[in-house]
Structure 1
Amino acid sequence: MKMRIAFTGKGGSGKSTLAALFVGHLRAAGHRVLAVDADVNVHLAPLLGVTAGPEGALSRPENARQVRRHLLGTNPRVAGVEHFVPTTPPGPGSRLVTLDADDPVLVRHATALDARTHVLHVGTYEPDDIGAGCYHGHLAILENLLSHLRLDVDDWVVCDMVAGTDAFANSLHAQFDVIVVVAESTPESVSVARRYRELAAAAGVADLLAVVGNKVVDGVDRDYLARELGGAPLTVLSTQAGLRRARQAGACPRLADLDDVAPLARIAEYARSRPMSPGRREALLRALHLRLAGQDWVRSAHGDVTTQLGPVPA
């Protein structure tokens, strides 16, 4: 399987920690993994032991241009790197990113934990962004990278998304096979999970969602999640004293800090059972590109970007 999985949820739900532990689970199983920190708070990278400075952020303008220049290749459908929009698809002559250790994008912009595991971070707000930008613009380079990604069998992409529902701003909700919504047994956390479900249904990707309960104390918490979500979560992680103590000591989370790794195995098993077909992903991304192409700001800045699309697949 070639799998893409995203972790999201209310801020503080533990989504970044769970994503880091899931990366550890995949590494232990021998998979090639690309971990992407796409949270404005930049938590996943440090949880994996990576220093995520602004100079290495994908969204840094010079880095984004370099990545897009590489992806563009000789694709005649895109007039230049400045005409990449979030939904720009690959075309003839485009270069695709792989999880090979010598891939140019990984060599220049990722941190290697080992030859089979690389970490990218999108970045956060910088002083120059104050009053003049939003995080959606930062995420556009991630959308470009994901749409120009070629995975081999047993490769995984694990993305820690920004908290809340920003994945529906452009095309990120269509880029994954599974979107894990991490929920605590609180009204606020459950309300985010329910909202994500509503938006996913409206976007035609309700089947991609899986809710995972986190920091569950007892049966009352389990019952609360099941009642408020209209069914039991895919799996739950109980409150982990060992993990909490490790984090309090400033240590990166490890599988050894967990009482039970079965919930991580359950998430992986679930993801493998429902990969998105290439045809469905292409159709979703095509529709989203056409919708974006109709926006006035896109027409004003880039002209008619519908020409970036190839023929409709037979």
Structure 2
Amino acid sequence: MRIAFTGKGGSGKSTLAALFVGQLRATGQRVLAVDADVNVHLAPLLGVDAAPAAALSHPDNVVAVRRHLLGTNPRVAGVEHFVPTTPPGPGSGLVSLDASDPVLLRHATALDSRTHVLHVGTYEPADIGAGCYHGHLAILENLLSHLRLAADDWVVCDMVAGTDAFANSLHAQFDVIVVVAEPTPESVSVARRYRELARAAGVGDLVVVVGNKVADDLDRDYLVRELSDEPLAVLSTQAGLRRARQSGACPRPDDLDDVSPLARIVEYARARPMPAHRREELLRTLHLRLAGQRWVRHAYGDVTTQLPPVPA
């Protein structure tokens, strides 16, 4: 299962993603946690030092990962011809959640033999005035499209806040996208806009809203009224969690008064895997759209040849 957490900045999406990883670990699942937020919060929340040299988007790591993904795929001329939507082909190197996987061994931090953490990275001084975070996310798009998951494997991604996922293919890479919303006008407006864009992108059914920092029934009623729907789950204001964070401790499900909202998200996601053919079609459409951009044709040539033939 692939699940992403997003929402307005400050809504608690990174903390909820960390708690969700903890819930999966507690039940023995195999997990890859990915910190894809420019602010790099999930990795530290899981106790991982997000060093710049270890970032997935570090130029040396981009080349190394793409070299593995390329394998002997004849449809891609070389690692320098990868675009964000480059799909796997014959001979591609895929990535699994096995502890012995070469990409995980080289680029991820192991919390235990069944839990690994990757972080995409953030802006560095050299990027000032010359870079865009969407460019950093391209290697994550490549990694996700080349994943080979076993039954009950989980990928948990803390996304960039807001609606930035629609600037690339990330909105099509997950089975469920959780929009975390607190009961404020600003937060629910982001949730509404995310749902609107998801419907326009053909993935509206993947999006669910989870309420967070809900103090009372009035807060809950506000979310229902403003979102025109009942949230999938609701987490109340958690004094124990706040105290743990204030002490510098990583958030754990044990810090919550009630873990049933986490279990509800697990149950919901597990029942809704995206069919492989649907994901392939979504990503094919996005690849063709990108291939039609003038700058892509100028920099990479005709990347439509990277796609598999359409079945007769």
> What interval of TM-score do these two structures reach, taking the shorter chain for normalisation?
over 0.9
Q: Which residue of 2 aligns with 1:161?
A: 159
Q: Which residue of 1 aligns with 2:275?
A: 277
Q: Which residue of 2 aligns with 1:223?
A: 221
In the superposition, the TM-score normalised over structure 2's length comes to 0.99
Q: Which residue of 2 aligns with 1:124?
A: 122
Q: Distance in 2 between matches of 1:257 and 1:226?
A: 26
Quick one: structure 1 residues 76 and 236, their matched pair in 2 at CA, closer, same or farther if it must change by over 3 Å?
same
1:179 maps to 2:177: yes
Letter in 2 for 1:26: L
Q: Distance in 2 between matches of 1:40 and 1:188?
A: 20
In the superposition, the TM-score normalised over structure 1's length comes to 0.99
The alpha-carbon deviation at position 313 of structure 1 amounts to: 3.9
1:93 maps to 2:91: yes
Q: Which residue of 2 aligns with 1:51?
A: 49
Letter in 1 for 2:9: G
Q: Which residue of 1 aligns with 2:63?
A: 65
| Residue-by-residue CA offset, 1:53-80 (whole Å, 9 max, x unaligned) | 1000000011001000010001010111
Q: Which residue of 2 aligns with 1:198?
A: 196
Letter in 1 for 2:194: Y
Letter in 2 for 1:36: V
Letter in 2 for 1:210: V
The unaligned stretches of length 5 or more in structure 1 are: none
| Residue-by-residue CA offset, 1:264-313 (whole Å, 9 max, x unaligned) | 00001110121100000000000000000000110000000000001124
The unaligned stretches of length 5 or more in structure 2 are: none
Q: Distance in 1 between matches of 2:118 and 2:280?
A: 24
The alpha-carbon deviation at position 135 of structure 1 amounts to: 0.3
Letter in 1 for 2:279: R
The alpha-carbon deviation at position 94 of structure 1 amounts to: 0.2
Q: Which residue of 1 aligns with 2:34?
A: 36
SS at match of 1:213: strand
Structure 1 ranges of 4+ moved more than 6 A? none
Q: Distance in 2 between matches of 1:230 and 1:130?
A: 41
Q: Which residue of 1 aligns with 2:137?
A: 139
Identity %: 85
The alpha-carbon deviation at position 84 of structure 1 amounts to: 0.3
Question: For residues 203-218 of structure 1, what are the structure 2 equivalents within 5 Å?
Answer: 203-218=201-216
Letter in 2 for 1:158: V
